[in-house]
Structure 1
Amino acid sequence: MNKAILFNFDVDKANKKIKVERSFNAPLDLVWAAWTEADILDQWWAPKPYKVETKSMDFREGGRWFYAMVSPENEKHWCIFDYETIQPEKMYAGKDAFCDENGVINTSFPSTNWTNNFAETDADSTTVTCELQFKALEDLETLVKMGFKEGFTAGLENLDQYISTQFYLRKQKKPDNRNRVSYYVNFPGNTEEAFNFYRSVFKTEFVNGIQRFSEAPGHEQMDEALKNMIIHVELPLIGGHILMGTDAPKEMGFTVTSGNNMHINVEPATREEATRLFNELSVGGNVTMPLQDMFWGAYFGSFTDQFGINWMINHQNI
C-alpha cells in the first residue's frame, strides 16, 4: 500500500522565503531523474492544460535549462533555470527567471533562487524539499498572486502520476538477464487494436496479459480517457522473437510519428556486451540517449544508426 503523501507549503514573509516539502512513493534515483532530465520534466512541470517544451538543457554546474510554458492556444512563456550547485541525488540549486525566446531575462517579473534537497525516506519513498529565496518581499507576493502554489501543486500531482507508473514498470521488468531481442513499438492510443490484430495473425497469446495504466499506482489521478490505455504488452511472434508495445498519447506529452514509433530492442546479458553493441552499432549514426544507468533499473541507450534504423540497447540491472 502506498504511504501517505507529505505536502507542506510554508510562506515565510519575514525571511522572504517559500518552503515546500513533498514526498513521493518511489526510490530516490527515480525521483532525482524526474527533476533533472528534460524529457521527464516536459511531462510534469507545467499544470494542465499547460505543457512544457524544453528548448535546451545542460544539467551541470554553470549549465542552463531553457524551456517554455505553453498554453492550450500555443502561447509560449519562456523561462530559464541556471544551475549553480549540483550534488547528484542529494541537491541542486540555481536561479529561475522569466525570459524571452532568446533567453534574455525579463526583469518585469521576479526571479527566484531555488535550492532543492532530496532525501530517501526508505527504499520506496523520497522527500523533496524546495526552498525559494527572494530578493524582495514584493517579489514573493507577486509570485503568490500569480498562482504559484496552485500551479506547482498541480505539477507535483502530474509527477505523482508519472513516477508511480514508472515504478510499477520497474517492478514488472524482465526477471532475468538472458539474451533477448525484441521489437518495441509506440502507438498514439490504439495499441490494443493493433496487438489484437497481430495476435490474430500470429495465433499466439500475450505474455502476462495486457497491462493498463489503470493497474498502475497513481491511476486515480489520471484522466479517464487514459486509464484504459495500454502501459505494456508483449506478444511472441515466431522464432522466439517478441513484439512489445505501449500507448504514448499526446495527453502525456508524446508525439508519435511514422519513423520514430519503432525500435529494435536488444537486451544483452552483460553490461560489457551492452557497451560493445552500443558503441559499434551507433558508429556514423545519431545517438538520441547516451548509454547510462536509468531510473527504471536498466543500463540503457538509444540511437538511430547510419542506415536510419532505430535501436535500443537495454541491459537490466538485476
Structure 2
Amino acid sequence: MTPHLHFDFTVNKDNNTIHVEREFAGDLETVWDCWTRPELLDQWWAPKPYRTRTKSMDFREGGTWFYAMISPENVTHWCRADYQAIDLHKSFSGLDAFCDEMGQINTEFPRAQWNNRFNPGAGGTKVNITIQYKTLADVEKIISMGFKEGFTMALENLDRYLEERFRLWRGAKTSNTARVCTYLNFDGNTEEAFQFYRSVFRTEFGGKGIQRFGDIPAETDHPPVADAIKKMILHIELPITGNHVLMATDAPKEMGFTLTQGNNMHISIEPESREEAKRIFDELSAGGVIEMPLEDMFFGSYFGSFTDRFGINWFVNYQTKP
C-alpha cells in the first residue's frame, strides 16, 4: 500500500460487522469501474498468489457476479455476489457467498451483506465498506480464516493496478518547456495509425520511440500485463508540422478504458509552471465537466483532465519530475 493512503479495518462485535475504510490514488470513475467491471476485478480481487477468473457478471440490481478464486495449484474456489441496490458512482450493495461450480450456495460458510460507498476526495477516492454477518460466530469464523490479511492484500493489488493504469498519463517529456500536443487513443491499432501518419509527415518517432505494454518492467508485487495487450502501444510520439506533436496510446479494456468516438482525442497543454497549469485548468474547465481534478500524481505530474463547456476534451499536465 502507498504509505499516505488512508486505511482502517475495524470489527464491531456488538452488531456483527466488519468496517473497512480505504483510499485509492485514482479518480472516482476509474475506482468505481475497478469494483464493477469483471475484466478489471479479475486483475486485483484475489489475494496473491491466488487469481480471480470471472465466469459471468450482470452488474445490475438483481444481477450476479459469478467467479472463481484459483490457487497456484489450480484448485478452484467458486464464489458469487448477488447485487441488491446500485447508485451509479456512489454505492452498491449485495450478498456474497461461497458456492459450487453451478452457483449453488455452500451453507457451511457464512454469507454476508456488503455495502460499499464511494466518495471522491483530494488526491483520490475513498471507499467505505460495511460487511454485515448474522452472528458473532460468523464474524469470528471469517476472521480466523484470514479475511483481514487476504482482503488487505487484494486492496494492495488494486493500488498496483491503478499505478500501472495511470502510468498511461505519463509521456516521455524530458523538460518543462511549454508545449501543446494532441493526445489520441485507439482501439488496438495505434501502431498502424502512427506508421501511416509517419509516412505522410515524413518525420520520425520522438521521445523513447515505440513503447509497448509488454515493456512495462515485471515486478513481483505488480499484476502481470495481460498477454492480449503486450504488443499494444503504451506511448508513442510523432512530431508533425509546425512543431506540433501527436501522442497516443492504445486503450484496451484490460486497463480500464471504454473507448468511444468523441472521447478518444484530447488537447494536451503542458505549461512551464505549476501556477500556470492551475490557472489554465481552472479557467478552461469552468462550466465544463471535470474528469480528473488537477492534482499531484505519484508518477511525477501535476495532472488533470476535463471536457470544457463546448464539449472539447483537455489534459493539463505539468511535469514536476522530468
Q: TM-score w.r.t. structure 1 length?
A: 0.62
Q: Name the residue aligned to 2:46.
A: 46
Aligned length: 247
Structure 1 residue 21: Cα displacement = 0.6
**2:23 aligned counterpart, secondary structure:** strand
**2:56 aligned counterpart, secondary structure:** strand
Q: Name the residue aligned to 2:157.
A: 158
In structure 1, what is the Cα distance between the partners aligned to 2:9 and 2:38?
Answer: 25
Q: Name the residue aligned to 1:107.
A: 107
Contact 2:47 / 2:153 at 8 angstroms: preserved in 1?
yes
C-alpha RMSD of matched pairs (Å): 4.7
**1:42 aligned counterpart, secondary structure:** helix
In structure 2, what is the Cα distance between the partners aligned to 1:88 and 1:178?
Answer: 31
Structure 1 residue 74: Cα displacement = 1.3
Structure 1 residue 48: Cα displacement = 1.1
In structure 1, what is the Cα distance between the partners aligned to 2:66 and 2:306?
Answer: 28
1:42-92 per-residue CA deviation (whole Å, 9 max, x = no partner) reads: 000001111000011011111110000011111110000000011111111
Alpha-carbon distance change, 11 to 58 in structure 1, aligned in 2, over 3 angstroms: same
Q: Name the residue aligned to 1:184.
A: 188
In structure 1, what is the Cα distance between the partners aligned to 2:19 and 2:97?
Answer: 18
Task: Return the letter of the residue paired with 1:103.
Answer: G
Pairing 1:1-318 to 2, within 5 Å after superposition: 4-122=4-122, 124-170=123-169, 172=171, 184=188, 204-207=204-207, 209=209, 221-222=221-222, 232-234=234-236, 317-318=313-314
1:148-206 per-residue CA deviation (whole Å, 9 max, x = no partner) reads: 01110000000001112223324659x989697968369xxxxxxxxxxxxxxx99434
Alpha-carbon distance change, 167 to 270 in structure 1, aligned in 2, over 3 angstroms: closer
Structure 1 residue 25: Cα displacement = 1.4
**1:55 aligned counterpart, secondary structure:** strand
Contact 1:92 / 1:115 at 8 angstroms: preserved in 2?
yes
Task: Return the letter of the residue paired with 1:233.
Answer: H
Q: TM-score w.r.t. structure 2 length?
A: 0.61
Q: Which runs of 5+ in 2 are unaligned?
A: 173-178, 191-201, 241-245, 266-290, 293-303, 315-322
Identity of aligned pairs, percent? 41
Contact 2:52 / 2:68 at 8 angstroms: preserved in 1?
yes
In structure 1, what is the Cα distance between the partners aligned to 2:54 and 2:313?
Answer: 29
In structure 1, what is the Cα distance between the partners aligned to 2:42 and 2:19?
Answer: 23
